[in-house]
Every structure is written in C-alpha cells, then in structure tokens.
Amino acid sequence: MIAQATNFAQSVDNTFLIIVGISVFFLVLITTLLITFVIKYSKKRNPKATNIPGNTKLEIIWTVIPTLIVLYIFWLGWTDYKVLATPPKDSMVITATASMWRWKFTYPNGKQADTLYVPVNKDIKIKLISTDVNHSFYVPAFRIKKDALPNINNSTWFNAEKLGTYTLFCAEYCGLNHATMRSEVKVVTKDKFNNWLSSK
C-alpha cells in the first residue's frame, strides 16, 4: 500500500486497521470461548444435563459493550466521511466523464485528456458524469471511490501529496469491456502542470 498518497489516506488506513483489530480480537475471543465450552460441557464430562441460570449483569455487559463498539466504529467512519464529502471551496474543479469504456477529463480552461493530470499539494474536486451506465471513479492509492451515475451530480476530492503515477479504475461493472476501463492519475509539480495545461 502507498501511505500518504493523499491528505486523508492515513486516516482511512487507521480506521480500517482499528476495525480489523476489533474484528480479530472478537474472533479469537469467541473461538476460544466456543472451544472451551465445547470441552467443558461435553456429554463425556457432563453426562447429566444441568440447567444454567441466567445472569442479568452478564447480559447487560454483552449488550452494552458491543453497542459502544459499534457506535465507536460509526463515529470513526462518519469522521472520515465528513472530510471526504466536503471539498475545500478553493479546489480546482476537473470534470471526469465516464462512458463505456473510457475516462475523459475536462479542465477549467476547456482542455481535455484521457489521463488525469494534477498538481501536487493542490485541492482537486472531481465532478463525476456518466454518459450511459453506472461507473465508479476509484483510485486505490488515494483511498477514494465514488460512483458516476447517469443524470445524477456526484463528486469527490483529494489533495495528492506525493509525486507519481497512480492507477485509476472503474470499480462498477459497466459491461463487456469493464476490465479495460482504466486510466492514470499523474501527480506532477505545479510548474509542470501549468506548462501541460497551457500547451495545445
């Protein structure tokens, strides 16, 4: 994985690792308890069935703790979502038009390209348009994925913090050649970007 390719990549990764950590902890705990109870209360060790009385305190604990954990996971996701859903007002707006089976990027000055060129350390808002079916703008290194839908205005944003070339996919099955609908995001210096943008 490419850490810190964008401004919120690390935050998304941290949320993911916390959720995986909680899941692994409970997987180990429940599996351990399951095996322990299977052995302890097997027919061989307990030939005569016994009635185990309820425990109100224990039932409250195993209801409250999972509820708090789920609320914590929701809070983590909501915190990330608010950042991902709110592009800064001074963002450069680039329109990404998706169609079977290609991407087209249109810049504020009208220039078009099939590769997404962006300057490093600049807030970029991507307006998503689909001319036909459902598509999805997905850049794994940036930790962003947003659907491009016919007749629906959708957008996403990022601030690329590392120079380089990153793969851009369509992550929504869109027909026969869906697998070939890919492009690149080229993060370049501001001078290189300005020269590219102003060139014919």
Q: Strand 182-188 relative to strand 102-106: parallel, antiparallel, unpaired?
A: unpaired
Q: Which of 116, 92, 112 is nearest to 182 (CA)?
A: 116
pLDDT of 51 reads: 77
pLDDT of 64 reads: 96
pTM recorded for the entire structure: 0.79
**Does pLDDT of 15 surpass 70?**
yes
Question: What amino acid is encoded at 9 in this protein?
Answer: A
pLDDT tens digit string along 80-124?
888 888 899 999 999 999 999 999 999 999 999 999 999 999 999
pLDDT tens digit string along 157-182?
999 999 999 999 999 999 999 999 99
